[in-house]
Structure 1
Amino acid sequence: MARHLIQGRDVTIPVRVRQATVCTASYLVRADAARAVIAYSGLDVAEVLPGRAVCALAFIDYADGDLDAYHEFGVTFLVRPPEAGPAPRRGLLAGLSELRTAGAGTFVHWLPVDQGFTLEAGRTIWGFPKEMAGIDLRLASPYKRCIVRKDGRLVLDLLIKPGVPVLGRTARLDAYSHLDGVTRRIPWSLSPRGVRARPGGALIRLGNHPVAKELSELGLPKRALVSATVSRTSMSFGEAKEL
């Protein structure tokens, strides 16, 4: 069993999250713009339609886990694994089917958190691009809201309207990270419960932070392709492997 010493504490792999609440909004964006954003990683975005990629924004309340309790926000992109062929171009449903078969994963481009222990653990163990930020989560009301501020500047204000109940299934997929010139693959599993989803369903306001400018260059704010809320999920993160 792999172990990592973080701030004087042993962290064993796999790292487990026992309870978290997750809210996401996914957007169709120009593939060429998305490729430019993640070019530093050496990975390629997955095209679910010709010339279109998926950028997903997520905010998460980690209530109970091996890295303690914290809040997190993520800017991610659907990517094809390095060993996969060219992106499918036969329409959305066929493309998504091929992507699942080929093992498409999630590249984590920006990952602010609000606690120091998870920041050091995430960067050290997996190479996740974690950095400190102010993350204000408002999850008690029917509408779920996240406000992210970094360096005293507003990054974004994201509101998600829960949709209709859908079946939550255990999923195993790969997450990808890049830090200090190294791209890594991380096995990741989650078992969601209390899932609600809908087309659209997200309102976003961008601030004046450089990350907000980057999102605006991707075409945001715009109508979300789909939004989802997960009231309760467990997760497991395996050992990272350098590509």
Structure 2
Amino acid sequence: MQIRDAAVASAMFAVPAAAAQAVIAYTGLEIAEPLAGKAICSLAFIRYADGDLGPYHEFAVAFLVRPPGTPSPAGALGRLRGMRDVGAFIHWLPVNQEFTLECGRSIWGFPKEIADIPMDLAGRVKRCAVRFGGRTAIEIAVRPGAPMPGGAGAPKVDAYSCLDGVTRRTPWTLTPSDVRMRPGGAKVTLGDHPVAEELRSLGLDRARALSSSTVGHLAMSFDPAEEVFA
């Protein structure tokens, strides 16, 4: 499956590893810890302009995880070395169009659900909200940083998903351009939807972003999903 043009804004946060592991306990996956007791949670919003699933908006909550079957690394150096092979587990993935909802759930097992996802990626500050029936789950604003050299980003990543008790791995290939990054740069506001309470349990209502980034143009390809645990 091909995505020919998308734009992205995202932010990464350090959250308590125990809380993050509790959130993803249903998957059989293990949280990656770049520092002892800390996990990485990523919030991202994406506007898909041209792709095989048509145009739509998407919001993602993801965690860095260790590949299944790998032992827990020992010591600070082992943890850093282990980060080279981490994947991204997609925990929550609301979208605003039915076709991508059905494809995402049935083909790759992504936990997509329909939401109202207004976003502004044209302004200086990139903004997005996720709402269900008028109830806000999350609002986020990302300030762009300094331009990165060509080729910056993660060209290949294993994306993990879990739906109906089945955990899957889907290899992604990414080709980003017009990439900007900065330390900090993101503001998160949580609402009164039940999902907001889960995000509060991670401390995202008070955490400062480690970094934030924007991608003006992103092309992606998705390979078929493979079952990891069932």
Shorter-chain TM-score above 0.5: yes
Q: Are the structure 2 counterparts of residues 215 and 105 from structure 1 closer, same or farther at C-alpha, using a change threshold of 3 Å?
A: same
RMSD: 1.2
Superposition map of 1:130-209 within 5 A: 130-167=112-149, 168-169=152-153, 171-209=155-193
Post-superposition offset of 1:87: 4.0
Letter in structure 2 aligned against 1:52:
K
Post-superposition offset of 1:82: 0.5
Residue of structure 2 aligned with 1:108, choices 86, 90, 97: 90
Counterpart for residue 238 of structure 1: 223
CA distance in 2, matches of 1:64, 1:26: 26
Counterpart for residue 211 of structure 1: 195
Counterpart for residue 50 of structure 1: 36
CA distance in 2, matches of 1:36, 1:59: 24
Residue of structure 2 aligned with 1:118, choices 100, 104, 111: 100
Post-superposition offset of 1:169: 4.6
Q: Are the structure 2 counterparts of residues 163 and 88 from structure 1 closer, same or farther at C-alpha, using a change threshold of 3 Å?
A: farther
Over the matched positions of the two proteins, sequence identity in percent amounts to 55
Is 1:79–2:79 an aligned residue pair?
A: no
Post-superposition offset of 1:63: 0.3
CA distance in 1, matches of 2:81, 2:2: 29
CA distance in 1, matches of 2:109, 2:154: 25
Provide the TM-score with structure 2 as the length reference. Answer: 0.95
Post-superposition offset of 1:240: 0.3
Superposition map of 1:58-97 within 5 A: 58-87=44-73, 89-90=75-76, 95-97=79-81
Q: Are the structure 2 counterparts of residues 194 and 97 from structure 1 closer, same or farther at C-alpha, using a change threshold of 3 Å?
A: farther
Deviations 1:37-61 (A, max 9, x none): 0000010100010000000000000
Letter in structure 2 aligned against 1:45:
I
Deviations 1:129-170 (A, max 9, x none): 000000001111110000110233101110000000112256
Deviations 1:83-104 (A, max 9, x none): 211045406xx6344311xx21
Post-superposition offset of 1:18: 0.2
The answer to whether the 8 A contact 1:46-1:87 is kept is: no
CA distance in 2, matches of 1:169, 1:214: 29
Q: Are the structure 2 counterparts of residues 87 and 110 from structure 1 closer, same or farther at C-alpha, using a change threshold of 3 Å?
A: farther
Classify the secondary structure of the residue corresponding to 1:111. strand
- Structure 1: gaps spanning 5 or more residues: 1-14
Runs of 4+ in structure 1 off by over 4 angstroms are none
Provide the TM-score with structure 1 as the length reference. Answer: 0.90
Letter in structure 2 aligned against 1:227:
S
CA distance in 1, matches of 2:176, 2:27: 29
Letter in structure 2 aligned against 1:177:
S
The answer to whether the 8 A contact 1:48-1:88 is kept is: no
